[in-house]
Copies of this chain bind each other. A is one copy, B any other.
């Protein structure tokens, strides 16, 4: 912490400008001079102060990441990893802003605490209103979205089509003869109902649309998203007259343990009940769950790269990307056995 660029300059017998150049533009410095400088720097344990160069660069080299959940979530942790894999090497720090309750949300958009202090904003997994979008844009920096809507509120965006994916999945089930299908989901948080679209809602819609298209009465179970999600689901399931032939889960983190527990109660998956998930967690692959694949790491890396291009004023092709949704067919789904379908 002690030695600064001037100490190195003195020791190397050059000017501070030369020291700076040695680090930032080595090619502009004679090899001999460069070595002198590097030696001096090593002896003094010197390296360029990031704070100082960031400061003088005018850019903040900081990216705000807006999330509406914990950062340790499967999606968020992987997305962060993808973002960081691109932003970090480019010299950017990523900092989370947790937009969880409607209060924090309002406070955030009113005060924009990150104003003037980040070079770009990444909005992940939640939708923003037009008003919030324009508020964000008042900062005059790129706003990019990951699984966030509406797309045109963002400078760049990347998303999967949750509705379509779940629609596809439901059709898969229906095509195998299932008519008694239950969709299990977590309810939207109250502060988000109505105005905003979340992945969860889209998935629910996709399920319902597929059912309605085939004249099936969609059966949806909403369970609290607490520490006992599987118990909650089982309770509601057992509360019915009979078990459905297929269970469509909003996400793998529910489907995976549910499979295990159903097995423990003697239900064979998929012989007795088909189960599907969404996300494609590692554990989903391990247990052979049929699910919708998405790769948040890759999404993060992709949008980060495009954001970087935008910041560097390079041409960025497509501004808005909707990834193909892909179902991974494994062995938690099978045709219905006893076909008593009307």
Residue ranges of A at the interface with B (Cβ–Cβ < 8 Å): 1, 45-47, 49-52, 54-55, 60-62, 70-72, 77-78, 80-81, 84, 88, 93, 95-96, 113, 115-117, 138-141, 227-230, 253, 256-257, 259-261, 263-264, 269, 282-283, 285-288, 297
Question: Copy number in this complex?
Answer: 2
Q: Which of A45, A264, A297 has the most CB of B within 10 A?
A: A264
List residues of chain B with CB within 8 A of the CB of A138: 45
Q: A51-B55, A263-B260 are in contact. Are A77 and B72 (CB under 8 A)?
A: yes
Please give, as numbers and ranges, the residues of chain B lying within 8 Å of A257 by CB-CB distance. Answer: 256, 283, 286-287
The winner among A78, A84, A287 for most chain B CB atoms within 10 A is: A287
13 CB-based A-B contacts, threshold 8 Å: A45-B139, A47-B113, A49-B117, A50-B60, A51-B117, A52-B55, A71-B77, A72-B80, A72-B297, A77-B77, A84-B96, A264-B288, A283-B283
Determine if A283 and B253 form an interchain contact, defined as CB atoms under 8 angstroms apart.
Answer: yes
Residues on B with C-beta less than 8 A from A259 are: 260
Of B50, B230, B282, which contacts A286 at CB under 8 A?
A: B230
How long is the Cα–Cα vector from A260 to B264 in the complex, in angstroms? Answer: 9
Provide the bound-state CA to CA distance between A68 and B340, in Å: 55
User: In the bound complex, what is the Cα–Cα distance between A71 and B287 (angstroms)?
Assistant: 24
Chain B residues lying within 8 Å of A77, measured Cβ to Cβ, are: 71-72, 77
Per the bound structure, the CA–CA distance linking A338 and B95 in Å amounts to 56
Given contacts A116-B1, A138-B45, A257-B287, contact A88 B95 (CB under 8 A): yes
Q: Which of B93, B140, B230 contacts A93 (CB 8 A)?
A: B93
- Chain B residues lying within 8 Å of A78, measured Cβ to Cβ, are 72
A282 adjacent to B253 (CB under 8 Å):
yes
Give Cα A205–Cα B207 distance, bound, in whole angstroms: 50
CA distance A135 to B77 in the complex (A): 31
Q: Is the CB of B88 within 8 A of A47?
A: no
Complexed CA–CA distance, A287 and B286 (Å):
15
Flag if B51 contacts A60 (CB, 8 Å): yes
